[in-house]
Structure 1
């Protein structure tokens, strides 16, 4: 497990996709975090109204070989929480003054990136960058706010001469996915990972033999299960008024990481393209 791994953050993200029994355990842990390190497996089972076997299965479900390993991770995460407890997500409130809005929105965006760094897998990033380096064609699929991220991704990868296109509606996504082949890459962006149109595109892309990279919230979802590579993001526990803001920022940051990874690995080849695209825009501005 990476040193900045935060199991409490991951539990918050994945809680709603757990089984009913696992959810009982997760909710008890999140509501009573500071007492968890001192509890035995039997004590946690009793307090969460489950069983010893359920607690052990829960630990394995979230990636731990033993209850002891899970407790060590909880203790580490609590130490991290103590250092960051003042940096909490804040939702938009009626009547907020402008300075409060400036501070809160900026904090939420920074927090989304920081929390994403605690759930995203470095090995999955490496796999994604490797796929994007080797492929000749990249499709970006996303609906709504995720579609805006796709358009940003297209603009970036186009600058290094990658054949790519952003598809932001269900019909064009299905049409494009049908034309994919083995060796092509579909980057599917969805916060929930459960949007029906996105799942249709996933099914077709896989059927055509393309590799699929998913950028989605850290949670169990059909998109995460069906993708070849999963890049998880973390989004704030706030209402719909500001929730999409944080997820969009986290997704944009992930796209920037992928772009920089590909550009850095192929720098000798892409430098000329970056220079040419920079110069043509610069000359246009001067004229």
Structure 2
């Protein structure tokens, strides 16, 4: 029985495995679109995942709410203050020509993504994940598609501060070979948002089987990546138009790298000095 004092995310996690596939789709949609869900009708919500209004009502009752109004009231109570800015922004966008306001629209959405990502961080989990990264024998970052660039940046940044890290960005044989030698002293970081790539999920599953620590950076607490991770971080990826924004992802990565570098400042300093000497010795820099 779900505790009626629990928040929406806690309630969903408590019953997620027992939900029907359609209800699981509905749960993910609501978590990713809370503002819409807080005002939509049961029919409008159901249409988003090709489900009936009755399915929406049953889903709400399964979570322990008194129908859709109860769930919507809980969402509104938890909505962070940034949504007020979203409303203002949407009104302004409809009133002004897109060509003059679009850059500001994009920047404001990215600021909101950073704020949402920051507010979702569990500090204890963050600190624990940082300790594992800092003490890992090897770190493998698995990412593909829209997250590939962020995954490469994470692996590169960890390497710069003296850790043994590499990125696997294309799945397949390279991923299988890389993960084969991992064990309890190692960490695998998986990045995945929106349409989750099977090879990334397979990597996290294999890492868990081999005893490695798994960190997920994803856009929903009920995403397949989050459910296979020891430490899962939810990032906001709302985009201005058709594409997703990686601003929240990159900000979280910057925070992880910065915190990890401070676990052993002497190691970080030595690594940076070695790199600097290589730049000079190989004349890699223009000035």
Q: What residue number does 1:112 align with?
A: 113
Matched, 1:141 2:149: no
Contact preservation (8 Å) 1:193, 1:223 = no
Matched, 1:152 2:156: no
User: In 1, Cα distance between the equivalents of 2:59 and 2:153?
Assistant: 48
**Aligned match of 2:232:** 230
Question: What is the distance in 2 between the residues matched to 1:211 and 1:120?
Answer: 19
> If the length of structure 2 is used for normalisation, what is the TM-score?
0.70
TM-score normalised to structure 1 length: 0.70
Evaluate the alpha carbon distance shift between residue 269 and residue 84 of structure 1 in structure 2; reply closer, same or farther with a 3 A threshold.
same
Q: CA deviation at 1:276?
A: 3.3
Aligned to 1:259: 257
Distance 2:167 2:247 in 1: 18
C-alpha distance in structure 2 between counterparts of 1:90 and 1:212, whole Å: 42
Distance 1:148 1:51, change over 3 A: closer
The answer to whether the 8 Å contact 1:140/1:165 transfers is: yes
SS in 1 for 2:64: helix
- Please tell me whether the aligned partners of residues 193 and 217 of structure 1 are also in contact (alpha carbons under 8 angstroms): no
SS in 2 for 1:231: strand
Distance 1:223 1:89 in 2: 35
SS in 1 for 2:285: helix
CA contact (8 A) 2:106 2:240 kept: no
For residues 60 and 143 of structure 2, the distance between their equivalents in structure 1, rounded to whole angstroms, comes to 42
Q: Please tell me whether the aligned partners of residues 143 and 151 of structure 2 are also in contact (alpha carbons under 8 angstroms).
A: yes
Q: 2:247 aligns with which of 242, 246, 249?
A: 249
RMSD over aligned Cα atoms: 4.1
1:63 corresponds to: none
State the secondary structure of the residue aligned to 2:217.
Answer: strand
Greater RCO (Cα-Cα under 8 Å, separation 6 or more)? 1
